[in-house]
Chains A and B, each alone.
Chain A
Amino acid sequence: MILLVPIDFPGDIDYLRDRLRKGFRTRVEVSLNGLDPKPFFNPDRRQYSSASIIERLERDAEGAASKVLAVTGLDLYIPILTFVFGEARLNGRCAVVSSYRLDNRSYGLPSNPSLLDKRLFKESVHELGHTLGLVHCNDQECVMKSSTYVEEIDFKGSWFCRRCGDCCAPALAGLK
Chain B
Amino acid sequence: MTQRVSMLIVDDEPSVRDSLLQWFLQEGFRVETAAEAMEALEKMGNSNFDIVLLDIKMPGMDGIELQGRLKEIDSQLVVIIMTAYASVDTAIQALKQGAYDYITKPVDPDDLSRLIRNASEQRRLLRENLSLKEEIRSLVSTEQIVGKSPRMLEVFDAIRTVAQTDVTVMIQGASGTGKKLVARTIHSNSKRKYFPLITLNCGALTDALAESELFGHEQGAFAGARYRRKGKVELADRGTLFLDEIGNIGPKAQMDLLRVLETRRFTRLGGNAVVEADFRIISATAKDLEEAVKEGGFSEDLYYRLNVFNIRLPSLTQRASDIPPLVDHFVEKFSVAMNKPFTGVSSGAMELLTQKASWPGNVRELQNAVERAVVVGRPPIITASDFAGLVAPGGPSADVVLPLAEMEKRHIQLALDKSGGNVSLAARLLGVDKATVYDKIGKYGLVY
Contact = CB atoms under 8 A, between A and B. Distances in A.
Interface of A: 45, 49, 51, 77-84, 87-90, 130, 135-136, 146, 148-149
Given A79-B13, A89-B22, A136 B105 contact: no
Contact of A80 (B19, B25, B27, B110): B19
13 contacts: A51-B18, A78-B19, A78-B20, A79-B15, A79-B16, A80-B23, A89-B22, A90-B22, A136-B26, A136-B28, A148-B108, A148-B112, A149-B109
A122 B275 CA distance: 51
Given A135-B27, A136-B28, A79 B110 contact: no
Interface of B: 13, 15-16, 18-20, 22-23, 25-28, 82, 103, 105-110, 112-113
B26 A80 contact: no
Given A78-B23, A81-B109, 6 more contacts: A79-B105, A80-B105, A80-B106, A82-B109, A135-B26, A148-B113
Contacts of A78: 19-20, 22-23
Contact of B110 (A49, A51, A77, A148): A148
Contacts of A77: 106
A113 to B, nearest CB: 25
B1 to A, nearest CB: 13
Contacts of A87: 19, 22
B28 A135 contact: yes
A167 B23 CA distance: 20
Nearest to A77: B106
* Interface SS, B side: helix
Nearest to B23: A78
B230 to A, nearest CB: 31
Contact of A79 (B103, B106, B108, B112): B106
A90 B108 CA distance: 22
A81 B106 contact: yes
B16 A136 contact: no
A80 B112 contact: yes
Contacts of B110: 148-149
B105 to A, nearest CB: 6
A62 to B, nearest CB: 23
Given A51-B15, A51-B18, A81 B26 contact: no
A50 to B, nearest CB: 8
B22 A80 contact: no
B25 A90 contact: yes
A89 B105 CA distance: 22
Contacts of A135: 25-28
Contacts of A130: 26
A11 B239 CA distance: 64
A83 B23 CA distance: 12
B109 A148 contact: yes
A136 to B, nearest CB: 5
Contacts of B15: 49, 51, 79
Nearest to B20: A80
B28 A82 contact: no
A82 B108 contact: yes
A84 B19 CA distance: 11
| Shortest Cβ-Cβ A-B pairs, 6 listed | A135-B28, A78-B19, A148-B110, A148-B109, A79-B16, A82-B106
Contacts of A51: 15, 18-19, 22
A136 B27 contact: yes
Most buried by A among B22, B28, B103, B110: B22
Contact of B26 (A45, A79, A82, A90): A90
